[in-house]
Structure 1
C-alpha cells in the first residue's frame, strides 16, 4: 500500500480523494490543514506522496515546495490547488513539485496525475504541455516570458491580478512593501508591460490563452 498525506484545509478534498482512490493501493495516512502541522507530520513519517494545496494556512505558497524538498529529501509532491494551472503549474514544477492539477479537473485526470507522480513521473495537463512545446522558443510569446518568472514573482503577479494591494501582498508573503514594489518593477520589465493595468491584463490572459 502507498501512503498519502493530504495537506488541504477543505474537508471535502479528503472525502473526494478517498473516493477516487478507493480501488487502488493507496491509504491516506494523514490529513493536515495547516503548514505547521504539515511539517510536524512529515518529521514523523514521510509518505510516498504528498498532495498539497498551495493556499494552506501558514504555508509560504510556492516557496514552501523548495523548503519541503530540501528538508525531506526525495519527497514526491503533487499540487492539487484551486489556482488555475496556467498561472502556477510551471513555477510549481520549477520549485520541485512533480505535478500540478487544478481542482476543476475531471476525476479521471486527478487519478491519472496521482498515479503518474507516485511512479516518479511529472504531470502537467495536455493543453499546457502542448502550449509549452509549441512556444518553447518564441521569445515574443506571453507564455514564454511567463516561464522566466521566479516563484516569488509568480506569486506577486497572481496576487496583483486578484486585486490585492501592496500592503496585503507584503503581509501575505511576510515581506515589506518596498520589496513588493521591487517585484512589480521586475514584472513590468520581464513581461514587457507598460503599466500595472497591462501587467494584470497579461496575467488574466494567461488563464484563458490557447497560445
Structure 2
C-alpha cells in the first residue's frame, strides 16, 4: 500500500470553477455526469485525499455547491484566469499545501496526490504538476503556501500563463500514463456528450 508523504490534513483541495464556460455555453460546475455535477464529482475526488475542499468560483449561484466558496480577489481584475483562484486560496490557506483541480476534468489518476507529493518531498521544489506524454496539465498541481507572494506579484505584473509561473518556480512535472480519459477537459457540448457516452448515458 502506498503511503502519502504529505498527510491529508496538511492539504487543502481547491476546485477551480471560476471560468466563464463560453465554449460550453453553460456553467461547467453545474453540468452533470451520471446525475452528479462536475463540481460535486471533483469535490468527492478531493475529499478523500485532502483535509478540506474549497471551490474557486466567481458566480454567486455556485454558492450552494460547497460550504467554502472563494471568489477571486478583485485586486487581480476581472477574468484573470485560474491562477487568480489559486492565488486567492494561497493567501488565506490554513494548511501548508494546496492541491488544485479544474472542475472540467472528470477523470483523474487515483494516485495523483501521492505522486505529486512524492515529487515535492524528494526535491527542493515547492510545486509539482501533472503531465502526460504529449501534454502538460499545469492546473493539476500541488503547491506550497510559501509561494503565495510569488504568485501574487506575478499576477499583479499582468502575467496569466500558468506554465510560465510554474517554470519560474522550478516546478517538478510528474508524468502519468496515457489514457484517453485521464485529464480530458470537457470544454464543449461535444466533449460532454463524449463523456456521457463513455459512462453509458
Same fold? TM cut 0.5: no
TM-score grouping bracket, smaller chain normalisation: 0.3 to 0.5
TM-score by length of 2: 0.33
Larger Cα-atom Rg: 1
- From the two aligned structures, give the one with the greater strand fraction: 2
Higher RCO (C-alpha under 8 Å, 6+ residues apart): 2
